[in-house]
């Protein structure tokens, strides 16, 4: 906006000589004020114009117009608005003079966060644009104003009007549009916008992260996996949380080994209990049983409650002797532990211990499973005591 207002100053002052409607007296006062302003003596320049006495309405409007610029350059935006409002509403400024003045007034309102007033003038400006002036950036200002007012539908429409033209700056309007689409809960539209933003700023992780989140939200988890994977491949520094989400997406797509590897590469992956549990779980899903066992062993050193997970996997893989000592460390789960030991001791051909554990399970909580074990083991024990006949 600073560059634009500086350009307006030039336009205003250069038009002094071209304006045949200005009285000689007023033109002289304006030239005097302009000379002071060029030396950055804005307060003196304003005083000269404020003390200019003229009975001509056009002179008053033109003086107000120039004074508004000087007020703005002096940092007195509210006074600048008052003077430019007077100049514009007078209706005496014509053609390009009127358009440029109203443009500055709209920009001043925007600077002062008076968005409704700014919009009133911006919408008037786009109706008639003088030659050699563009209305593209006006639509951008309109989008910005609607955004501040949280008028999301209007943000989208005005941003589209801006983007429909051949413009260089696409980042800002697309960012405004994205914010509006998210507020309106339009995830499919936001996904398209994020794709355009990534083309412009491929190194901005925020866009990739938001895109993957929305893809998950609309049920496109495979695309979300591709998004985060590509972000990582492009060298973006994914956060710990990003990597965990990436691992979850790998697992959901049936690639648990990649999920486990992703978690194993995180900071404190070999010490943080939650990360250890995630790794062990993913290795199990990948049927990498021994690797999962090794990770569960690390986990139980910090959190003994995971001894049950370790014991179950040891039993599954036939490490029966090792599983006994682990089962002894399991807290709670008395019935489940007794039944697990029943199975383990049976596999180790220690039938008396197996039967003892089955009876313990039945005593703690009667169940058909415990009864079945007791019956089966009792029969096995009886059979083993039968006298052997000679062949």
Q: What is the percent of the chain where pLDDT is above 70? A: 91
For residue range 20-75, what is the model confidence (pLDDT) as tens digits? 578 899 888 999 889 898 888 889 999 989 888 888 999 999 999 999 999 999 88
For residue range 74-108, what is the model confidence (pLDDT) as tens digits? 889 999 999 999 999 988 888 788 898 999 999 99
User: Where exactly are the structural domains of the chain?
Assistant: 1-133, 338-382
For residue 363, pLDDT over 60 is answered with: yes
Q: Mean pLDDT score of the chain, rounded to an integer? A: 89
Tell me the torsion sign for CA atoms 16, 22, 24, 25: negative
Q: From the CB of residue 183, how many other CB atoms can be counted at a distance below 10 Å?
A: 15
Q: Contacts for 285-291 with beta carbons within 8 Å, 24 or more apart?
A: 285/251, 285/256, 285/259, 286/256, 286/257, 286/259, 286/260, 288/257, 288/260, 289/313, 289/316, 289/317, 290/317, 291/260
* Alpha carbons 170 and 260: distance in angstroms, whole number: 40
- At residue 169, what are phi and psi to the nearest 5 degrees? -85, 105
Residue 95 or residue 365, greater confidence:
365
Selected from 3.40.50.2000, 3.40.50.300, 1.10.10.10, 1.25.40.10, the CATH number assigned to the domain covering 1-133 reads 1.25.40.10
């Amino acid at each position: 906006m600073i560059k634009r207002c500086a350009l307006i100053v030039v336009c205003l002052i250069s038009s002094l000589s071209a304006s045949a409607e200005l009285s000689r007296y007023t033109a002289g006062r304006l030239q005097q004020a302009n000379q002071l302003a060029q030396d950055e003596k804005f307060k003196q320049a304003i005083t000269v114009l404020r003390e200019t006495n003229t009975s001509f309405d056009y002179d008053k409007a033109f003086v107000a117009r120039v004074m508004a610029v000087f007020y703005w350059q002096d940092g007195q935006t509210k006074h600048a608005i008052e003077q430019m409002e007077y100049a514009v509403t007078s209706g005496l400024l014509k053609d390009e003079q009127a358009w440029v003045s109203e443009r500055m007034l709209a920009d001043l309102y925007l600077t002062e966060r008076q968005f409704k007033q700014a919009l009133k003038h911006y919408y008037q400006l786009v109706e008639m644009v003088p030659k050699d002036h563009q209305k593209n950036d006006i639509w951008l200002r309109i989008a910005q104003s609607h955004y501040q007012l949280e008028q999301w539908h209007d943000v989208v429409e005005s941003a589209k009007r801006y983007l429909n033209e051949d413009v260089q700056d696409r980042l800002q309007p697309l960012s405004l549009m994205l914010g509006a689409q998210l507020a309106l809960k339009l995830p499919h539209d936001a996904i398209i916008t994020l794709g355009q933003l990534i083309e412009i700023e491929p190194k901005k992780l925020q866009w990739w992260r938001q895109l993957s989140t929305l893809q998950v939200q609309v049920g496109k988890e495979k695309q979300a996996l591709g998004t985060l994977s590509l972000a990582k491949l492009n060298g973006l520094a994914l956060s710990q949380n990003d990597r965990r989400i990436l691992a979850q997406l790998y697992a959901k797509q049936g690639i648990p080994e990649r999920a486990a590897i992703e978690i194993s590469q995180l900071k404190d992956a070999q010490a943080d209990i939650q990360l250890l549990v995630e790794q062990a779980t993913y290795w199990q899903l990948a049927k990498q049983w021994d690797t999962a066992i090794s990770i569960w062993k690390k986990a139980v050193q910090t959190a003994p409650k995971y001894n049950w997970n370790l014991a179950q996997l040891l039993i599954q893989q036939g490490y029966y002797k090792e599983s006994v000592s682990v089962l002894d460390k399991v807290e709670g789960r008395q019935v489940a532990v007794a039944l697990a030991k029943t199975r383990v001791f049976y596999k180790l051909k220690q039938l008396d211990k197996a039967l003892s554990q089955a009876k313990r399970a039945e005593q703690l909580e009667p169940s058909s499973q415990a009864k079945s074990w007791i019956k089966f083991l009792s029969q096995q024990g009886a059979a083993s005591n039968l006298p052997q006949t000679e062949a």
